[in-house]
Amino acid sequence: MAERIKNKKKNEPDGFDRFNRVSKPVDAVLHVIFMLAALTCVIPVLLVVAISFSAEESILEYGYRFIPKIPSLEGYTFLISQGKMIARALGISLFVTIAGTALGVLLTTLMGYVLSRPDYKLNGFLTMVVFIPMVFNGGLVSTYFIVSQFLGLKDSVWALILPLSVSSFNVIVCRTFFKTTIPESLVESAKMDGASQLVIFSRIVLPISLPVLATIGLFLSFAYWNDWYQSMLYIDDSKLLSLQALLNQILTNIQMLVKNAATIGVTAAEMLAKMPQESARMAIVVLIVLPIACAYPFFQKYFISGLTVGAVKG
């Protein structure tokens, strides 16, 4: 009996471990909740993909279905017919996303590191300068005037990069991370060895800050890839349109043709009737979502690996 009690006590968690344990019924309920939450994210994506592979007459007759009654590639064929424009816009989007993310991560981490230094004299003032735009902004008119007239970025690829490169929220995230995670003793010891602030930032701080780098990079890449608003404001040259702006124009043109089918003549109306409206819309969505969905595991990999990196060793 004493031996059984002793073994029972040995199997029971001690200290804070007992607060981290979840009973089997609660664990099962949590699994069900997380599975339902995952399905609410995955099911709409699967439906969009299924519609993009459906024939237009199948959609009109049977509605949206996960398994198309009449499979077809006409939505993607329609996009391929616009292949030259889409390929050029894809190149613009890739350049803007890659260059903008790299520039944004560099500027954001530099600002965050400077604001995290407790001995910096302008720390409080510049923190307020960064924080105020999170609550108030200058408005669309002033922003457009600064970017297009004052900076002269109208019809320039930099008009798609610079306005989104730095945000107050990302700077505050970096500042908080550097202030709470980077040991001050590590910075002080590097100063005693004669290292400058730039050397400390590039060779000591950044290598142990992969989690925040991956997080900011993920935020920026999503923002750049999904952005079409900057193209609408600052780009008049069709050769500089991003992929999202171009596909938005294609979608708008389809809707315009649908609304004006009665006034564009019999031949055009017949052509319009054969145009894959719904499947083309969903094919556009798939084309936009697929690249960024493939990029997410890349950032997630570095985010997880960055959690295991340390600098202070005993």
Q: What is the pLDDT of residues 142-181, one digit of tens each?
A: 888 888 888 888 888 999 999 889 888 889 888 888 888 8
Q: What is the rounded CA–CA span in Å between residue 93 and residue 285?
A: 15
Closest to 229 measured CA to CA, from 215, 242, 210, 213: 242
pLDDT of residue 302: 60
Q: How confident is the model at residue 308 (pLDDT cuts 50, 70, 90)?
A: very low
Average pLDDT estimate for 38-45: 86
Average pLDDT estimate for 82-98: 85
Neighbours of 172 (CB within 10 A): 18
Q: How confident is the model at residue 35 (pLDDT cuts 50, 70, 90)?
A: very high
Superfamily of domain 84-307: MetI-like (1.10.3720.10)
When mean pLDDT is compared across 97-106, 169-178, 197-206, 284-293, the lowest value belongs to 284-293
Average pLDDT of the chain is 79
Q: How confident is the model at residue 86 (pLDDT cuts 50, 70, 90)?
A: confident
Q: What is the rounded CA–CA span in Å between residue 74 and residue 51?
A: 11
Beta-ladder partners of 71 = 54
Q: How confident is the model at residue 33 (pLDDT cuts 50, 70, 90)?
A: very high
Q: What is the rounded CA–CA span in Å between residue 57 and residue 2?
A: 77
When mean pLDDT is compared across 75-79, 188-192, 224-228, the lowest value belongs to 75-79
Give the list of residues 6+ apart from residue 266 with CB closer than 8 angstroms, or none: none
| pLDDT at position 99 over 90 | yes
Domain ranges in the chain are 84-307
Quote the percentage of the chain above a pLDDT of 90.
8
Q: What is the pLDDT of residues 241-259, one digit of tens each?
A: 888 888 777 777 766 666 6
